[in-house]
Chain A
Amino acid sequence: MTWIWSNLDLLWDRTLDHLVLSVPPIILGFLIAVPLGWLANRYRAGRGVILTASGLLYAIPSLPLFFVIPAIVGTSLRSPLNLVIALTIYGIALMVRVVADGLASVDTDVRQSAVAVGYSGWSIFWQVELPLAGPVLLAGLRVVAVSTVSLATVGAVIGAQSLGSLFTDGFQRGIQAEIIAGIVLTVALALLLDGALVVLGRLLLPWTRPATTSRRALRAAQLGEVSA
């Protein structure tokens, strides 16, 4: 414990490093997965290819990926950018299928009705399909967030400072408290991001609020109908 109290600054710095490494891949992976998932959902022919190919990305072992990325992108071997790119790829692998499934889950009656009242092609996607796929997208994004935070620790082996550095450093120097602190902080960070996404979902998807409020509202609505 004394090690922890005397190294709070280090723990805080590594936590921030970890956030900087894991948040951009979550966002980037999502942004890239949306058009791919849209394509997979829109074009029957492309669906199998896109979903299989993106799913296979997850099968690429991370260590070789760290050597391949600099060769392709031209970054230096020890650049943290390599890790960000690798994590983005894993995020895409998980999210594309989720996006395709989410868009497919939108009720065809609702789509038809949106067309009937005069939504144009793209406004149907932005204002109807994407928000209605929201709950499925959120569920997928939560998995991606937690898995990205956990995967980001691997960065330590290629020199990208993160909470993973606490494991490697702790092993090398035989400081058990440092290893445990690294594990606990990684889990805590994952929970924090997951919680943030849940709150974000509450704000952005208000119609999906828990049943307690809506059931009360339903009862009030029925009473309202009787008195109407």
Chain B
Amino acid sequence: MIEFRSVSKKFPDGTVAVDDFSLAFPSHRTTVLVGSSGSGKTTLLRMINRMVDPSSGTIEIDGADIARLEPVPLRRSIGYVMQNSGLLPHRTVIDNVATVPLLRGVPRKKARADALALLGTVGLDQTLADRYPSQLSGGQQQRVGVARGLAVNPNILLMDEPFGAVDPIVRAELQQELIRLQSELGKTVVFVTHDIEEAFLLGDQVVILRDGGRIAQVGAPADILANPADDFVASFIGADRGKRALHLERRGDSDLLLDSAGRLAGVLVQQGPTATDARADR
């Protein structure tokens, strides 16, 4: 479990990125921090591996105050996946995945064998192992980024808008892949995004942030949808525009779902083949 206790961060230029933030991130669950730019979500994420140190307050991982841990070993024990993959352009795919195990002193042969196996785990063909990142598509690079994040088999995986820079089709594919991986691996995932749909899709716990890392609402996606805490949340999730308030209308042979403005949102179907469609796209 990761626990933030009254954490604040004021940058030297006077910006208050995070103001008195307290929250527990449960183990083996995905917590999504969602907010617009300036909400301090990335700063919060980077505090977990001490890329940023809080100005006040404490952060504990499984009861240990991370301020007392050395930053470099701490970072090597936590998976990190960032936008644009953050891969080292001068290292091949396999060496990128093996980076952190090698830094931790795992023998080269074993590190590379493990890395090769991980490529399979994230759905990449092993023939890509000797390519350089620039020779891969955006989606493939992002998969390599995830593989690198998993390489030391960390308990915690930090993901900073990892799918922000890929096109919508690939993004949907990567999101499904992450759901599959998470159901197998059960990591403590902290995921940052500005996309509320992505937050609801991936999060067991969703944290909606206002400016300065102040929590607008925390809860399971269904709870937030059903009971937005205030107008800010309602507006953020689109409930105020009636986008989330659907009603049923029968036209001909089909049951249509419409939002409050009368725009078509979907079709009501019997439970059946469509449920598997999401998986079948690969």
Which of A116, A132, A206, A207 is in CB contact (< 8 Å) with B51?
A116
The answer to whether the Cβ of A117 comes within 8 Å of any Cβ in the partner chain is yes
- Complex Cα spacing A131 to B137, Å: 23
- Complex Cα spacing A132 to B133, Å: 13
Q: How far is the CB of A55 from chain B (nearest CB, A)?
A: 29
CB interface residues, A 190-205, toward B, < 8 Å: 205
- Complex Cα spacing A224 to B100, Å: 26
B72:A221 contact, CB within 8 angstroms: no
Q: How far is the CB of A66 from chain B (nearest CB, A)?
A: 41
- Complex Cα spacing A222 to B124, Å: 12
A70-78, A107-115, A153-161 - interface stretch: A107-115
The 0/1 profile, CB within 8 Å of A marked 1, for residues 127-142 of chain B is 1100110111101100
The answer to whether the Cβ of A119 comes within 8 Å of any Cβ in the partner chain is yes
B74-82, B243-251, B273-281 - interface stretch: B74-82
The answer to whether the Cβ of B84 comes within 8 Å of any Cβ in the partner chain is yes
The answer to whether the Cβ of A225 comes within 8 Å of any Cβ in the partner chain is yes
- Complex Cα spacing A24 to B36, Å: 56
With contacts A117-B75, A118-B73 taken as known, whether A224 is within 8 angstroms of B86 at the C-beta atoms is: no
Contacts of A207 in B (CB 8 A): 89-91, 132, 134
- Complex Cα spacing A114 to B84, Å: 13
- Count residues on chain A whose CB falls below 8 Å from chain B CBs: 29
A228:B123 contact, CB within 8 angstroms: yes
Which of B75, B100, B137, B148 is in CB contact (< 8 Å) with A221?
B137
Which of B82, B104, B132, B134 is in CB contact (< 8 Å) with A112?
B82
Contacts of B75 in A (CB 8 A): 115-118
Q: How far is the CB of B177 from chain A (nearest CB, A)?
A: 11
The 0/1 profile, CB within 8 Å of A marked 1, for residues 41-53 of chain B is 0000010010100
The answer to whether the Cβ of B99 comes within 8 Å of any Cβ in the partner chain is yes
A225:B132 contact, CB within 8 angstroms: no
- Complex Cα spacing A221 to B51, Å: 33
A217:B135 contact, CB within 8 angstroms: yes
The answer to whether the Cβ of A123 comes within 8 Å of any Cβ in the partner chain is yes
With contacts A109-B82, A131-B90, A228-B124 taken as known, whether A120 is within 8 angstroms of B72 at the C-beta atoms is: yes
B49:A114 contact, CB within 8 angstroms: no
A221:B128 contact, CB within 8 angstroms: yes
With contacts A221-B137, A228-B125 taken as known, whether A117 is within 8 angstroms of B100 at the C-beta atoms is: yes
With contacts A118-B100, A119-B103 taken as known, whether A224 is within 8 angstroms of B125 at the C-beta atoms is: yes
The answer to whether the Cβ of B87 comes within 8 Å of any Cβ in the partner chain is yes
The answer to whether the Cβ of A79 comes within 8 Å of any Cβ in the partner chain is no
Contacts of A134 in B (CB 8 A): 90
Residue of chain A at shortest CB distance from B83: A109
B76:A225 contact, CB within 8 angstroms: no
Q: How far is the CB of A203 from chain B (nearest CB, A)?
A: 13
With contacts A117-B76, A118-B103, A217-B131 taken as known, whether A132 is within 8 angstroms of B136 at the C-beta atoms is: no
Contacts of A218 in B (CB 8 A): 134-136
Interface SS of A by simple majority: helix
Q: How far is the CB of B76 from chain A (nearest CB, A)?
A: 3
- Complex Cα spacing A214 to B133, Å: 11
The answer to whether the Cβ of A128 comes within 8 Å of any Cβ in the partner chain is yes
- Complex Cα spacing A118 to B82, Å: 14
Q: How far is the CB of A148 from chain B (nearest CB, A)?
A: 27
Residue of chain A at shortest CB distance from B89: A207
Contacts of B46 in A (CB 8 A): 116
A116:B103 contact, CB within 8 angstroms: no
The 0/1 profile, CB within 8 Å of B marked 1, for residues 56-83 of chain A is 0000000000000000000000000000
The answer to whether the Cβ of B69 comes within 8 Å of any Cβ in the partner chain is no
Residues of A participating in the B interface, judged by any CB pair closer than 8 Å: 107, 109-110, 112-120, 123, 128, 131-132, 134, 205-207, 214, 217-218, 221-222, 224-225, 227-228
Residues of B participating in the A interface, judged by any CB pair closer than 8 Å: 46, 49, 51, 72-73, 75-76, 80, 82-84, 86-91, 99-100, 103-104, 123-125, 127-128, 131-132, 134-137, 139-140, 148, 158
- A-B CB proximity, top 8 nearest: A113-B86, A118-B76, A118-B75, A116-B80, A217-B135, A207-B132, A207-B90, A120-B72
8 A–B contacts from the bound complex (CB under 8 Å): A112-B82, A112-B86, A115-B75, A118-B104, A131-B90, A206-B132, A207-B90, A214-B135
